[in-house]
Chains A and B, each alone.
Chain A
Amino acid sequence: MRPLTLGRLLLRCGILAVILFVVVVIALKLGAVQVSLYGLGRDLIRVLLGHSSSISTDYGMIVVDIRLPRILLAIVVGASLSVAGASFQALLRNPLADPYVLGVSSGAAVGSILALLIENQLNLSPAFGGLFTPFGASLGAGAAIAAVYFLGRRDGRIDSSTLLLSGIIASSFLSAIVMFLMSTLSGGNLRGYSYWLMGSFSTLPPKSLLYLLGIGFLAAAAVIYTTASDLNLLLAGEKEAMHLGVDVGRVQLVVYIAASILTGLAVSVSGAIGYVGLLIPHAMRLIYGSDHRMLLPASALGGAIALVLADTAARTVVAPSEIQVGAVTAVIGAPFFIYLLRRGLT
């Protein structure tokens, strides 16, 4: 018997954090403009010391003003989507649950667009304006998962294939709404529908939104983490969990809201990037087992690593042009999804 201890948890997370750091350094170096490791290190230390104004070289500007914020964005979005995916998998007792596959991301996209439209009408100051979108996206995500959940229920039980079908149908329905909104409306900040449906980090959100994203992620992930050991029992079924001392209704509500917020935040700044929430929790489960006290932080770090890598590929493979990061994750994620589906059916 070797139950998880705090020490082992921190050690494993530490290793993942080191890997993330290495990946970030590689991502900073790669790109259309070559950057030397020495210059990179010097500029990074300056940023950390708060002297970012003393960076004057061109590539320094590229690294600090363009690549670094984009990488930070990829880290938070990757972590959010992975933690949301792991949460939905536990909540719905379905290993194939993922914000994208279940249509939650499309719901968040519709919510974002509607929020942007309302925002345009209200003429808010730009500092407040941006904050409207993640709120609308979270509501959209919550509404989509609630709809899919009730459609996927049969005789009071969640049926795995009905749930996935409901998700796929919700996803295509909501994507159609996104297309409809995009082609009938126009606004300065609506972006294109391919952004919402595939996801991209090519346009950086305003600073205020980046801060909100970071704080929102930490808060929502922390709330989910307080239920980590309850989620372990919830996987065995609602009835069993209740008899083992889990306040099932409360845990489900808390995780449902927090995971919807995570999805909403991520989609509102990057569109619907698929398969991260499916692939990463599975990979982490293979390495570390299915204890959520380990799985949730590992998924957060793993999701960050994966999206930084995917985005680096997205902007370097066809440089100086770039492909959408959601295309990169779908190319890798879809075959993996089929593999899991086949394995689950046999």
Chain B
Amino acid sequence: MRTPAGAEQPRANPDFRLTVEQASYVYAPNPSQAPLFTLEALSFQAKPGEIVAILGPNASGKSTLLKLISGALAPLSGRVFLNGFPTHSLAPKVRAQRIALVQQESPLLFPSRVWEFVLQGRHAYSRGLGFESAEDVTIAANALAQVGAGHLTDRWMDKISGGEKQRVILARALAQQPLMLLLDEPTLHLDIGAQVDLLESLRKLAAQNRYTVVVVTHELNLAGEYADQVVLLQKGKCLRVGTPANVYRRDLLEQVFQAPLSVEITTSGRPRVTLFSDK
């Protein structure tokens, strides 16, 4: 019996939007040599409205895992499903309608206005020569308003601050009207106030629009405070998946981050990590 294309029997539980199922990846530029990096098979699932943090030190495989989730890479073994469909085999436009990725910003070659930038998020819905409709303009304006950046509409992208730019990039992702939002180190160049602002907006957006949010970060405390689930990676191995309170064990974190630290659980039930210097 044949099944319709793409309708490969999803073993995924329909309650979950994102299902990572024994997914692994190997970077090997030359098959005869030892691989440069291996991400060992790992699994987790996420529901609509949930925030998942992928946490780990440098070179732990965070970005590789994000690429597998975004569909930019095909897993070597295992699968990554979004609503039951493997993310890697979605057509580019369909994928962009379902998955939005906020990357570390790349430099702009030619200057553009904030509104032009946000309208790029509507490209996945364009037809023909790609002239934007009134609906596209409304959606882009709403996206800017949702991240509190409506006042920036007519500004130039290269003349706004880092925090403002991060909001505009997020607005472009919202204009894609995705099911899942992926963020790669979104707090990297932000001061602490802007970091908290961004994660507060993410929490609000995830609740309002029922996005599944996956954030790659190495900010232990931000992840502990805002994530519903944490995926802890070290050298390509997934050490633990669970709620922050479950994952944030002192011995485990000390081993992963190679630093003495303490973990306390605050009254809100969220873990808080303090680093010591042991001179």
Contacts and interface: CB of A to CB of B under 8 A. Distances in A.
B201 interface: no
Given A228-B130, A233-B123, A246-B92, A239 B103 contact: yes
A96 B198 CA distance: 37
Interface stretch (A3-11, A140-148, A164-172, A307-315): A3-11
Given A2-B115, A235-B109, A247-B93, 15 more contacts: A3-B115, A3-B136, A5-B131, A232-B120, A233-B120, A236-B108, A242-B92, A243-B95, A244-B123, A244-B176, A245-B96, A245-B124, A246-B123, A248-B92, A290-B110
Contact of A240 (B95, B103, B119, B129): B103
B41 to A, nearest CB: 25
Contacts of B8: none
A208 interface: no
Contacts, number: 86
B202 to A, nearest CB: 18
Contacts of B93: 245, 247
A293 interface: yes
Interface of A: 1-6, 93, 95, 225-226, 228-230, 232-233, 235-237, 239-240, 242-248, 285, 289-291, 293
A289 to B, nearest CB: 8
A229 B141 CA distance: 20
Contacts of A236: 106, 108-109, 120
A306 to B, nearest CB: 20
Contacts of A244: 96, 120-121, 123-124, 176
A141 to B, nearest CB: 23
Interface centre among A4, A225, A229, A239 (most CB of B within 10 A): A229
B169 to A, nearest CB: 10
A88 B96 CA distance: 26
A237 B112 CA distance: 14
Given A3-B119, A3-B137, A290-B112, A243 B132 contact: no
Interface in B99-123: 99-101, 103, 106, 108-112, 115-116, 119-121, 123
A1 B136 CA distance: 11
6 cross-chain pairs, A with B, having the tightest CB-CB distances, nearest first = A245-B96, A229-B130, A245-B124, A290-B110, A3-B132, A1-B115
Given A235-B109, A236-B120, A293 B129 contact: yes
A285 B110 contact: yes
Contacts of A225: 129
Given A95-B110, A293-B131, A243 B123 contact: no
B72 interface: yes
Given A236-B120, A293-B130, A245 B97 contact: yes
Contacts of A229: 123, 126, 129-130
A243 B101 contact: yes
A239 B96 CA distance: 12
B212 interface: no
B92 A247 contact: yes
A240 B100 contact: no
Given A243-B72, A243-B96, A244-B176, A1 B129 contact: no
7 contacts: A5-B131, A235-B108, A240-B106, A245-B96, A247-B92, A290-B109, A290-B111
Contacts of B123: 229-230, 233, 244-246
A230 B92 CA distance: 12
Nearest to B182: A243
B147 to A, nearest CB: 16
A39 to B, nearest CB: 42
Interface centre among A1, A3, A225 (most CB of B within 10 A): A1
Interface string B66-84: 0000101000000000000
B140 interface: yes
B153 interface: yes
Interface centre among A232, A245, A285 (most CB of B within 10 A): A245
Interface centre among B70, B95, B120, B121 (most CB of A within 10 A): B120
B131 A4 contact: yes
Contacts of B106: 236-237, 239-240
Contacts of B137: 1, 3
Contacts of B97: 245
A1 B153 contact: yes
Contacts of B120: 232-233, 236, 244
B119 A1 contact: yes
A196 B119 CA distance: 44
A233 B116 CA distance: 11
Contacts of A285: 110
B141 A1 contact: yes
Contact of B131 (A1, A6, A242): A6
A167 to B, nearest CB: 18
A93 B110 CA distance: 10
B47 to A, nearest CB: 23
B98 to A, nearest CB: 10
Contacts of B119: 1, 3
A232 B120 CA distance: 8
A226 B24 CA distance: 38
B129 A245 contact: no
Nearest to A89: B109
A131 B154 CA distance: 50
B127 to A, nearest CB: 10
A233 B140 CA distance: 16
Nearest to B169: A240
Contacts of A246: 92, 123
A49 B268 CA distance: 86
A11 to B, nearest CB: 14
